[in-house]
Amino acid sequence: MNLEGYTLQLILREIENGSLSPEDVNEFYYKRSVELNSVLNAYITLLEPRSRAEGDLKGIAIAIKDNISTKGIRTTCASKMLENYVPPYDATAVSSLKKHGGSVLGKTNMDEFAMGSSGENSAFGPTRNPLNKEYVTGGSSSGSAAAVAADMAPIALGSDTGGSVRAPASFTGIVGFKPSYGAISRYGLIAYANSLEVIGILGKSVEDVKILFKMIAGKDPMDSTSINVDLKEKNISKPNILVIKSFVELSSEEVKKEFYNSIGKLESAGFGISYVDKFSLTDYMLSSYYTIACAEASTNLSRYDGIRYGPKVESASNWRDYISKARSFFGPEVKARIMMGTFILSAGYYETYYLRALQLRKMIKQEFEKIISGYDAVYVPTMPVLPWKIGKAIEDPKIAYAADVLTVLPNLTGSPAISIPVGKVREFFVGGQFIGLRAEDMKVLKVAAIAENVLQVKKNGRN
Amino acid sequence: MEEIKVGLEVHVQLVTLKTKLFCSCSSDYRGKPPNTNICPVCTGLPGSMPTLNKKAVEEALKVALMLNAQPYETSYFFRKTYFYPDLPKNFQITQYDKAGGYPLAHDGYLKLSNGKTVRIERIHLEEDPGRIYYEGSRATARYSLIDYNRSGIALIEIVTAPDMSSPEEARDFVERLTTILSDVGINVKDYEGSLRVDVNVSYAGGERVEVKNVTGAASVEKAIIYEMFRQKTMYEKGIKVVRETRAWDEKRRITIASRGKEFEAEYRYMPEPDLPPVTITESLIKKVKEEIGGSQEDRYRELINDGINEELAKKISSDKNLFNVYEKIKFYEPSLKQLAANVLANEISYLIKRYSIKTLPEDVSGLAEILQNYRIIPDHESVVAYLKKWIDGEKVKISFKTVSAENIQNDIMQIISENYEKIRNLEYNKKFEFLMGILIKKFGKENKKVLVEELTKVLNKIK
Amino acid sequence: MKYSINKLSKLSMLKISKEEEKMIAKKVQALGELLEKLDAIEPPKEAFVLAPEGEHKRDDVPVEFDSDEIIKVFNEVKGRYLKGPKTL
């Protein structure tokens, strides 16, 4: 039996009609994962299947990013700091999946503490792109994307702080959905930048991510920032979308060409296409994003001191020495962001940087809400470039930071955004993202589903 | 003697709560084995998130109103970062009055016994850290032992202006505050270590020295006396007092230079992104005001207006329980208020002390029954016994087969004639005693008053 | 960037090895350049907080968590105490 190219939707249908058994499905993904993981490094922890065929998900095992807490299954954040940490509780999203009959297939590789856009900043080594092993998968949900793209999982959970679901989805040619801020509980998601991030879903089709989204969305008493978004199907047939030209112009020639090409196809299929030349704050989005993210990260990651859990320090002259030694186990990217955040929050710099970043965030949100009014979604490329060769961004960190320029907007505004493959360049895909107003998740899912059907970029997908 | 200035930061545990400030662990941590009263939130496990205890806001608001402080309509939680092993996240969630933040309430005051007003700058909510123990002495122990049972307990911090100018005034402040707290049910005396004070002392306009962690009013006074003389000695020797933090050594009754803890002024405050702001609505203030029912002064004034004498009014107004009962009786049957005041200030006060009673019954109908029949209850012992019954929540029904005076006179005449031989040679007193014995047997003790009156009348007639 | 890597690592309680130092400096430099762009932004007149919207408070009802599960997470315990570094 070969389930290559199968969507979750198809698997569930075939289990329903008896042509597939849940055991077969789990066996297939497990075996394939064991086989491919030595090459792709998508999983940090892989679990033998032990499903019970019940609930909507029939016991199907799902890949979970390794920064989402799973009771009894180690959760490392791809960091030496949590190499042996086994959470005593499930994240709310994981317990929701279990309630629907899902189980955990494995914990996927990622950029350490979700800091990165390439999948290279992992203490367990970089994840390799199934489309070309020498190239990055994009990050930080690198393993979740690689697993779905290489048929090592039917679907996966990731997290998106500044594009961490959409970037790897775009680089591996799959669908990546970042819901509205708060739409899925963050309880149990190991925090990097609380005010920006949300659990997201990586799948083979828009329908697949929607199936899972409906199961895990909703207000959670354990997460005070969670909200109920409307989960009713939206009735749209000819979407009106708005293209921000200044975003497209930030992209490479190859990306631009494929992206404009997709617009042509959408227009012929009846999409209403409008353009706006400029989003006036385009140049400041990364500054606002990195200031807020680093500030939040520096305090979130204070707790890793080797005292309660994490690396034990054998000899230390005093408690400060103990903590500093334990914290040396963070990787360089994490250290750099903690230090930057510490600097930003230092007396005197709070006003200079942090407050201005908040001010910008407020202005960006206002401008976004103004330009989107009257449209179903904003449509822009997901990544300004194609995947780069592993190692390149390590030489020049600016490459990785700049790659986030088109994905941070929805995190700053709390908007839902979904990336789907919209074009193809050599072995790689170009991703386009649809962005909506906060809480209008079902609207962007609907628009993306129509576009996916029009564009048919991935012909090997079996629905 | 040069003048000293004293300001206090008083930390009070909200002992009336059932759970911690940000998680559902029990607030009842005292006497429990170490680390049995903990969960992922109060041990700062990765992925855990705080949720605010609704009742904590109400309790803090009560204290704020009692201290004549103004609540802010919107206040925020902040992270205060410092590394120390008793602080599981290495930041404390507290409230801050800078960087855009507002505490729960501001600008209150408290009047000292000598009539002086001490300004209260702000009142805010925060979490208590865990506790560190040592085997043997702290100096020689090779490691520390940490217990997080207390971690996350709700505290309010009350910050005064440097308005006190003697150790006695500071002591008086803490004592008056303790009374006010007990007025709203926060009986810090019943919970060891539930009131802890950081004392700021400056001598002769010198730098201010902070003495941390002083427990109780008496120790506050002692710590200030010690610090006053220490600083005075330095001043006289011409040594400059430096701004520093010292610790109070309860055993040796001295302050010592603090080592070990991170006391850098660099706390890197930032808003807590996982907690929505706290809003204090007019209706919440109204609700809380109804619950606390004004200050002792208000209560005293009301009693005096009702015509209750000063001595009784003082006694009843000092205890909110007594006053509440008084008010209810007044509402139930206004004519009983004078008698109620008497009984509350005497018998009921006695019972509260004798049996360490915490609360009086909500339902005062039993008490009203006692007061209405007060005249016919034969003796003081019975009154007390009936009151105890009411306090214990038992039903109180006073039913005497009261007899009319005329009937009794006939009965008395009959008894005298039946026993004439026995009594005729007895002295008046003996005669009276003998006849009373027979009458009590016949009519019951409860009619003693009437019997005495009527027998006296009859004997006087036939003398 | 007005702070040295050395000072920042001390403030953040992070030990940095000689091998890492160059790479971290490069990253901090790149992030610092992003910060500098903020100089062009008019700072808000008053400090403010961008807090999450909504109102959520928990009822004061105890829920017990199995604390043995957390003891299992702890690095080293003595009895039920967590063993920590000396704090002098």
Of A85, A323, A347, the CB nearest to B46: A85
Is A224's CB within 8 Å of B52's CB? yes
pLDDT > 60? residue A462: no
Among B47, B274, B275, the residue with its CB nearest the CB of A188 is: B47
DSSP3 helix / strand / coil % (chain C, rounded to 5): 40, 10, 50
Q: Does A85 touch chain C (CB under 8 A)?
A: yes
From the CA of B141, how many Å to the nearest CA of chain A?
12
Residue closest to B108 by CA, chosen among B62, B69, B63, B72: B69
Return the amino acid letter for A312.
Answer: K
How does DSSP assign A423-450, residue by residue? EEETTEEEEEEEE--TT-HHHHHHHHHH
Residues of A in contact with B49 (CB under 8 A): 186-187, 222-224
Instruction: Name the minimum distance, in Å, from the CA of B33 to any CA of chain C.
Output: 7
pLDDT of residue A6 exceeding 90: yes
Of B424, B427, B425, B449, give the one whose Cα is nearest residue B436.
B449
Q: What is the mean pLDDT of chain A?
A: 95
User: Which one from A103, A122, A142, A164 is the annotated catalytic residue?
Assistant: A164
Active site residue A210: no
Q: Any residues with CB less than 8 A from the CB of B96 and at least 6 apart, and which?
A: B76, B78, B80, B103, B124, B269
The enclosing H or E element of C11 equals helix C5-11
Q: What is the pLDDT of residue C55?
A: 72
Q: Which of C5, C41, C74 to mutate to test the interface with A (most CBs of A within 10 A)?
A: C41
pLDDT given for residue B2 in this prediction: 66
CB contact under 8 A, A397 and C30: yes
| Residue B376 confidence class, pLDDT cut points 50, 70, 90 | confident
Question: Residue C51 pLDDT > 90, yes or no?
Answer: no
**pLDDT of residue A463 exceeding 50:** no
pLDDT given at position C47: 84
Reported confidence tier of residue B259, pLDDT bands at 50, 70, 90: low
* Confidence at residue B401, expressed as pLDDT on a 0 to 100 scale: 60
Q: How far is CA A282 from each of CA A278, A405, A407, A410, A456, rounded to the nearest angstrom?
A: 8, 8, 11, 13, 30
CA torsion B372-B376-B382-B387 (nearest 10°) is 0
For the cut 80, the answer to whether the pLDDT of residue B296 exceeds it is no
Residue B210 has pLDDT above 50, yes or no: yes
Q: Whole-angstrom Cα distance, residue A137 to residue A121?
A: 12
- pLDDT bin (cut points 50, 70, 90) of residue B140 is confident
pLDDT tens, residue by residue, B95-117: 998 888 999 999 999 999 899 99
**Mean pLDDT value across residues B314-339:** 89
A396 pLDDT more than 50: yes
pLDDT of residue B262: 46
Q: Is residue C64 part of a domain?
A: no
Average pLDDT over residues B13-23: 98
ipTM of the complex: 0.95
pLDDT above 60 (res A10): yes
**Domain extent listing, chain B:** 4-282, 295-391, 405-462
Q: Which amino acid is at A447?
A: V
Percent over 90 (pLDDT), chain A: 92
On whether the CB atoms of residues B199 and B224 are closer than 8 A, the answer is yes
- Which is the catalytic residue, given A69, A140, A142, A226? A140
What pLDDT, on the 0 to 100 scale, is given for residue A51?
A: 63
Superfamily (CATH) of domain A1-463: Amidase signature (AS) domain (3.90.1300.10)
Chain B with chain C: Cβ pairs closer than 8 A: 130
CA A370 from chain center: how many Å?
26
CB contact under 8 A, B43 and C70: yes
Residues 236-295 of B with CB under 8 A from C: 259-261, 266, 271, 273-277, 279
Residue A225: what pLDDT? 96
Q: What is the pLDDT of residue B404?
A: 67
The answer to whether the CB atoms of B33 and C80 lie below 8 A apart is: yes
pLDDT given at position B290: 82
Cβ-Cβ contacts under 8 Å, A314 against chain B: none
pLDDT at B402: 60
Cβ-based burial of B353 (10 A; exposed 0-12, middle 13-18, buried ≥19): exposed
Per-residue pLDDT band for B206 (boundaries 50, 70, 90) equals confident
Q: At residue A210, does pLDDT exceed 90?
A: yes
Distance, in Å, from the CA atom of A14 to the CA atom of A27, rounded to the nearest integer, reads 16
How far off is chain C from B257, nearest CA to CA, in Å? 12
| Amino acid, res. B188 | V
Q: Quick one: closest CA in B to A195, which residue?
A: B273
Interface of B with C in 144-163 (CB under 8 A): 144-148
Distance from CA of C1 to the nearest CA of A (A): 9
pLDDT > 90? residue A238: yes
Helix ranges (DSSP H) in A74-205: 92-99, 142-149, 166-172
What distance in Å separates residue A396's CA from the closest CA in chain B?
30
- Most distant CA pair in chain C: distance in Å? 57
Per-residue confidence (pLDDT) for residue A461, from 0 to 100? 46
pLDDT confidence band for B224 (50 / 70 / 90): very high
Residues C16-48 have pLDDT tens digits of 999 999 999 999 999 999 999 999 998 888 888
B57-61: average pLDDT: 97
Greater pLDDT, A115 or B3: A115
Q: What angle do CA A316, A317, A318 make, to 5 degrees?
A: 95
The whole-number average pLDDT for the span A109-126 is: 97
Indicate which residue of A33, A51, A58, A65 is catalytic.
A65
- Taking the C-alpha atoms of residue B22 and residue B37, their distance in angstroms, rounded to an integer, is 14
Of residues A359, B280, A181, the one with CA closest to residue C55: B280
pLDDT of res. B298: 81
- The reported pLDDT for the residue numbered A20 is 94
Distance, in Å, from the CA atom of B302 to the CA atom of B135, rounded to the nearest integer, reads: 56
Distance from CA of C49 to the nearest CA of A (A): 8
* Residue in A closest to C54 by C-alpha: A225
Question: Mean pLDDT, chain B, as a whole number?
Answer: 90
Is residue B127 within a helix (H) or strand (E), and if so which, with residue range? strand B117-127
Q: Report how far residue B410's alpha carbon sits from residue B449's, in angstroms, rounded to the nearest whole number.
A: 17
Those residues whose C-beta lies under 8 Å from the C-beta of residue A72, and which sit 6 or more positions away, are A86, A87
* Nearest chain C alpha carbon to A302: C12
User: Closest residue of B to A293, CA-based?
Assistant: B273
DSSP SS3 for A170 = helix
- Mean pLDDT for chain C overall: 90
CB contact under 8 A, C14 and A332: no
DSSP summary character for residue B188 = G
Cα–Cα distance, B245 to B243 (Å, whole number): 7
Active site residue A51: no
Q: Between residues 366 and 405 of chain A, which touch chain C (CB distance below 8 Å)?
A: 394, 397-398, 401
Q: Please write the tens of the pLDDT for every residue from A353-366.
A: 999 999 999 999 99
Cβ separation C41–A284 shorter than 8 A: yes
Structure confidence at residue A232 as a pLDDT band (50, 70, 90): very high
Mean pLDDT of A417-423: 98
Judge whether B83 is closer than 8 Å to chain A, CB to CB.
yes
Q: Is C1 a residue whose pLDDT tops 70?
A: no
Who has greater pLDDT, B458 or A236?
A236
Residues 252-291 of chain A whose Cβ lies under 8 A from any Cβ of chain C? 283-284, 286-288, 290-291
Question: What angle is formed at CA A77 by the lines to CA A383 and CA B51, rounded to 5 degrees?
Answer: 100
Which of A178-192, A219-233, B120-134, B321-335 is predicted with the least confidence, judged by mean pLDDT? B321-335
**What pLDDT score was predicted for residue B458?**
86
Asked whether the predicted pLDDT for residue A419 surpasses 90, the reply is: yes
Domain region containing C36? 5-40
Distance from CA of A69 to the nearest CA of B (A): 7
What's the pLDDT at B303?
Answer: 93
The answer to whether residue A65 is catalytic is yes
pLDDT higher than threshold 80 for residue B56: yes
In the prediction, which pLDDT does A157 show? 98
The answer to whether B89 faces chain A, any CB pair under 8 Å, is yes
Highest mean pLDDT among A169-173, B385-389, C54-58: A169-173
CB spacing of A302 vs B81 below 8 angstroms? yes
How far is C-alpha A240 from the geometric centre of its chain's CA atoms?
26
Q: Which two tokens stand for residue B112?
A: 């000292």
Please, which chains are in contact with B (at least 3 CB pairs closer than 8 A)? A, C
Number of domains making up chain C: 1
- What percentage of residues in chain A have a pLDDT greater than 70? 98
Quick check: C8 and A339 CB within 8 A?
yes
Predicted confidence (pLDDT) at residue A250 exceeds the cutoff of 70 = yes
- Using the beta-carbon criterion (under 8 Å), do A296 and B269 form an inter-chain contact? no
